[in-house]
Amino acid sequence: MKEQIIKNFKEIFGDGGEIRVFFAPGRVNLIGEHTDYNGGHVFPCALTIGTYGAVRLREDRVLRFYSGNFQENGILTGSLEDLECKGSGEWTRYVKAVIASFGEHGFITPVGFDFYCLGTIPNGSGLSSSASLEILVSKMLTVLFGFDVNMIDASIYSQYAENRYVGVNCGIMDQFAIAMGKKDSAIFLDTSDLKYEYVPVRLDGIRIVIGNTNKKRGLGDSKYNERRAECESALAQLQGICTVQALGELDESSFEAVSDAIKDPVILKRARHAVYENLRTVRAVSALNNNDIKAFGELMNQSHISLRDDYEVTGKELDTLVEAAWAQEGVLGSRMTGAGFGGCTVSLVKDECVDQFIENVGRLYKEKIGYAADFYVVDIGDGPQEL
């Protein structure tokens, strides 16, 4: 792949100079959805698909960009003098936002560069193509300019880039999962203090199958920020009667004891999801540690039901894919993954049933929705690296 990326780079930007190539993965979250901005737990893993980038430093302050995924845009240009990118729809805003965020944290990019990138993650599918690009750029900047930034800080700066410069109030999960990814392990992350643990995902005879609804969404135009605000409102109402810093601190009984303080039934449902999803995630990880994949799968199913009924972030495309998956032989669990409102599902499927699963779920989806879903049988990969 490296040679191919360098070849593509040269075709666009010409020969000469030192060209360096980097890779950052995408991610899939196995369980723990919409918990990361509520101080709860998440359980994502990095994928072997992701974003490749080739870069050559310049002597001036110009930035030139080309994406193999958006060839129709041709070469886009920018400058280190102007890194504000709110409102811009171009993919380059993620690159500029990370440069700007690093700068704000004291790591100033000294010269411009030419940058070619190619993603193997379907855009807008909920597998974090944007966080993958952000972490790719973070890795690139730290290596090229010798910044003393570890990958956890890089994930924090990238999340800040997205919050402050892109305008999406996302939590830390995606950037952290990608920056800290480890082959064949998922990351059990407590978002309240960023303590984490690698959990080997030993799925003997079971594959992780991602189903893409092909319903495009961007976090910016989704109800993501609205959900976040609803959780903040729930927390504020609870703080009127008890001491609690985040919904993720509550267990069932402490939540049920105070939940009457939340008067609006919709806000109450949102809070209930945040609290119970966090508890499900903790339970799912101990089930996995006990090699109880069946229990893990059941918790995945419950997660989807809660995201559908209480958090209301699924929609007919995701529900159709998941409900069709539940009806198939050899399926241990299936749920939406990522922000929701479209994007992807994740299912655990017995090896020998995967082909039939894809065929049947694909057919049922097309019959009901009118267009096809895509499926990827994925592997868990490492974090970002120079190739």
Residues 300 and 176: their CA atoms lie apart, in Å, by: 21
Task: For residue 219, give the DSSP letter.
Answer: G
Q: How far is the CB of 352 from ligand GLA (least distance, A)?
A: 31
Q: How far is the CB of 219 from ligand GLA (least distance, A)?
A: 6
Would you mind telling me the total number of residues written for the chain in this entry?
A: 387
Member of 21, 45, 135, 173 binding ligand GLA (CB under 6 A)? 173
Q: Which of residues 17-46 bind ligand GLA (CB under 6 A)?
A: 33-34, 36-37
Q: How far is the CB of 34 from ligand GLA (least distance, A)?
A: 5
Contact 317, 345 (CB under 8 A): no
Residues 373 and 346: their CA atoms lie apart, in Å, by: 13
Residue 297 host element (H or E): helix 293-309
Which residue, 225 or 254, is less far from ligand GLA as judged by CB?
225
Q: Which of residues 37-96 bind ligand GLA (CB under 6 A)?
A: 37
CA distances from 285 to 220, 221, 272, 300, 361 (A): 31, 32, 20, 11, 27
Asked if 170 is part of the footprint of ligand GLA (rule: CB under 6 A), the reply reads yes
Which residue, 174 or 310, is less far from ligand GLA as judged by CB?
174
Contact 95, 137 (CB under 8 A): yes
Member of 134, 174, 310, 317 binding ligand GLA (CB under 6 A)? 174
Which residue, 8 or 225, is less far from ligand GLA as judged by CB?
225
Residues 139 and 159: their CA atoms lie apart, in Å, by: 14
Q: How far is the CB of 166 from ligand GLA (least distance, A)?
A: 11
Which residue, 339 or 373, is less far from ligand GLA as judged by CB?
339
CA distances from 1 to 5, 109, 204 (A): 6, 27, 29
Q: How far is the CB of 5 from ligand GLA (least distance, A)?
A: 26
Q: How far is the CB of 67 from ligand GLA (least distance, A)?
A: 21
Per-residue binder mask for ligand GLA (CB under 6 A), 126-165, x = binder: ----------------------------------------
Member of 26, 122, 171, 381 binding ligand GLA (CB under 6 A)? 171
Contact 212, 344 (CB under 8 A): yes
Residues 267 and 233: their CA atoms lie apart, in Å, by: 7
Asked if 339 is part of the footprint of ligand GLA (rule: CB under 6 A), the reply reads yes
Which residues carry out catalysis? 174
Q: Which of residues 205-234 bind ligand GLA (CB under 6 A)?
A: none
3-state secondary structure of 376: strand
Q: Which residue has the tokens 């870069």?
A: 55
Which residue, 168 or 262, is less far from ligand GLA as judged by CB?
168
From 168-176, 181-189, 314-322, 328-336, give the range in contact with ligand GLA by CB under 6 A: 168-176
Asked if 122 is part of the footprint of ligand GLA (rule: CB under 6 A), the reply reads no
Structural tokens at position 119:
């993603």
Q: By CB under 6 A, how many residues form the interface with ligand GLA?
A: 10
Contact 96, 78 (CB under 8 A): yes
* Phi, psi values for residue 5, rounded to 5°: -65, -40
Residues that bind ligand GLA (CB under 6 A): 33-34, 36-37, 170-171, 173-174, 338-339
